[in-house]
A and B are shown apart, each in its own frame.
Chain A
Amino acid sequence: MLEIKNLVVEIEGKRILDGLNLSVNNGEVAAIMGPNGSGKSTLSYIVAGKEDYDILDGEVLLDGENILEMDPAERAVKGVFLAFQYPLEIPGVATMTFLKAALNAQRKARGETELTTPDFIKRVNAAADKLEIPREMLRRALNVGFSGGEKKRMEILQMALFQPRFCILDETDSGLDIDALRVVADGVNALRSPDRTFLVITHYQRLLEHIVPDTVHVMANGKVVKSGGKELAVELEANGYADYKAQEAA
């Protein structure tokens, strides 16, 4: 289970997360919605271990263990996975080379044996086929020249390959066409399991029709200001965030 307690984060003296509390149980899919700039991506970066934030207070616990002192690679080994809102292009590093380095690094750190090349290729191809990612793309440099939607699919391919326990999807739906959205949602749904936790950040109810959440949380001004069931997303779609912004300002 993932617990975030009283997280207070600043960047260059500007407060971005302001006493955020959230917990997501094993097997739960939690959706996070909220206006632009409310701190959703920042939250996902903090959990994944990005530096250059000042964490003034709070804890991020995975099954009770605080991970804030760990570097991003150690967290990945613990099962944290962030599907980036804006996946990075890594020129000169072939996608296959990268996937293999990542998977084997995780396995090695967990004391598992490294995969043989044929076994590895089989797994990647299977995941790519499910996500309708052409194999030719896997031979190119990671994300270089990929379309926005292709990059998002590549993030989900990684998730399928690494089988992480704590998955954070930051606006994975943006940039996806209607068919791709279904393919990606199917990919995510296939990974749902009683010991896996999902945090799905999105602006649109549409994604949540495909990936049906157990809980929905509204973030505004660096805090979770309201939590509810999947009907909350429908309500937001109809009414927008005006209430929550006003509530903050009051």
Chain B
Amino acid sequence: MADVQKFKTAAETGLAERFSQARASLPGDAAARATAFARFTDSGLPHRRVEEWKYTDLRAAMREAAPLAGKLDDKAAAAAIAGATRFAEIDAVRIAIVNGHVAASASDLGALPAGVEITTLSQALAEGHPLLASLGAIPEAADNVAYALNAAFMTDGVVIRVAAGAKVEKPLHLRFVIDGEASATATRTLALVEEGASVTLIESHECADGVAHQPNDVLEIVARDDTKVEHLRIDAHGDAALALSTLTAYLGARVAFDTLNLVTGPALMRHQVYMTFAGDHTTGAVRGATMVTGRQHADTTLYVNHVAPHCESRELFKTVIDGDATGVFQGKIAVARTAQKTDGKMMSSAVLLSEGGTMNNKPELEIFADDVLCAHGATCGQLDDDLLFYLMARGIPRPEAEALLLESFLGETVEEAVGEENETMRETLMAPIRAWLSARG
């Protein structure tokens, strides 16, 4: 316990205590967990003098380390899932993850589509499942403290294998629900999409307002050659949650990959995306629509890494900031010497609705190849007064006129992410946006 002495904050000390208490009972390779935790003990929680966390001072924001959530019994888990109604109606294969543990009784694990194989992470770790070799495909992530803490504490999640050639029509919906007193959860999900397969993954995250939960979720996607992978994430954590999340997407050749993150919830969010273009002629799109108000803080940080040639990356982020809230967008696109003919476009736009709001945009390009087309842009402004006047002159009251303009501003991300033919999915994704706008009044 000598290490504990060097920590500066109660949360850091608490994390160390939590680890020493939990380590013996956590499944899988104990040495790997110790290595991951050492990454945290080396630096403590990241703070504003750490460049990548400049705008999100996790050390200051995290007052204490909540206790690790325990696994609920079937009945309690089913009750928690039944209480989470917002995304219950999505037509999908459901996998419920309650308080960091898969709730099999509330999941459709027995009725998986052809070509889909799912094992719980806890079981996979306990038995040393061969698919776990696909974890950690993007090694840079291991150096990230949020990811490292997840590696140290991960309790459960799922390991998904989509077999070569399988065209999975029905989306897989990971329903994350946290119930009860303030607690910490750490889930890890792996989706290995084999050659030529296609799949849609939806994640929804919910917990009650007013409870300071501390989720830390990691999703790792490995998309082999010629796959099509769509990932839609809705972060509707409660307004007191401190939510860390990491997506890694390791993309082979001729892949079509799309991810969208919709954020309405937590007090503090840090969503990190690591996307590596490892094979040629792949397209990868990362999009986000973030709505924050009050004293909320939402940070999206991207690490896009082009290694293979002839790939196209698109990043589109929309942020709406009300009250005294803060938005952060950090996007780094690195293009290696080997990644000739890369076509990368990154755009972050924010609308400030109040005097007290802040947006920090930090786009970065790091290009070592000479034949590439890369562009980035960032805008931050108010709603257009002339457009508002036009709408109001037609009898639409100001709040509704603002909502119309904001809905179209944010909705562009949904339009781009979901094809026109998929009306139901669009409506599912627009619903949290509309709910947020109408709550604004």
Contacts and interface: CB of A to CB of B under 8 A. Distances in A.
Interface of A: 48-52, 71-73, 75-77, 80-82, 84, 87-88, 90-93, 97-98, 101-103, 105-106, 109, 141, 158, 162
A93 B412 CA distance: 10
Which of the listed residues A72, A75, A106 has the most CB atoms from chain B within 10 Å of its own CB?
Answer: A72
Interface residues of B, number: 23
A162 B394 contact: yes
Interface stretch (B245-253, B326-334, B401-409): B401-409
B394 A51 contact: no
Contacts of A75: 393
Contacts of A141: 408
A194 to B, nearest CB: 23
A105 B408 contact: no
B441 to A, nearest CB: 15
B385 A51 contact: yes
Contact of A52 (B385, B393, B405, B408): B385
Contacts of A49: 389, 392-393
B47 to A, nearest CB: 39
Interface of B: 385-387, 389-398, 400-401, 404-405, 407-409, 411-412, 415
B394 A50 contact: no
Contacts of A88: 386-387, 390
Given A51-B385, A84-B390, A98-B404, A162 B412 contact: no
B409 A102 contact: no
Given A92-B409, A93-B405, A101-B400, A76 B387 contact: no
Given A52-B385, A98-B404, A101-B400, A90 B394 contact: no
A102 B386 contact: no
A73 B386 CA distance: 14
A101 B404 contact: yes
B395 A77 contact: yes
B238 to A, nearest CB: 29
B408 A73 contact: no
Given A49-B392, A82-B393, A90 B398 contact: no
A50 B392 CA distance: 9
B387 A90 contact: yes
Contacts of B397: 73, 105, 109
A91 B391 CA distance: 13
Contact of A76 (B386, B394, B404, B412): B394
Given A50-B389, A88-B386, A73 B404 contact: no
B390 A71 contact: no
Nearest to A109: B395
The 7 closest A-B pairs by CB, nearest first: A92-B408, A76-B395, A106-B395, A102-B394, A72-B392, A73-B392, A88-B390
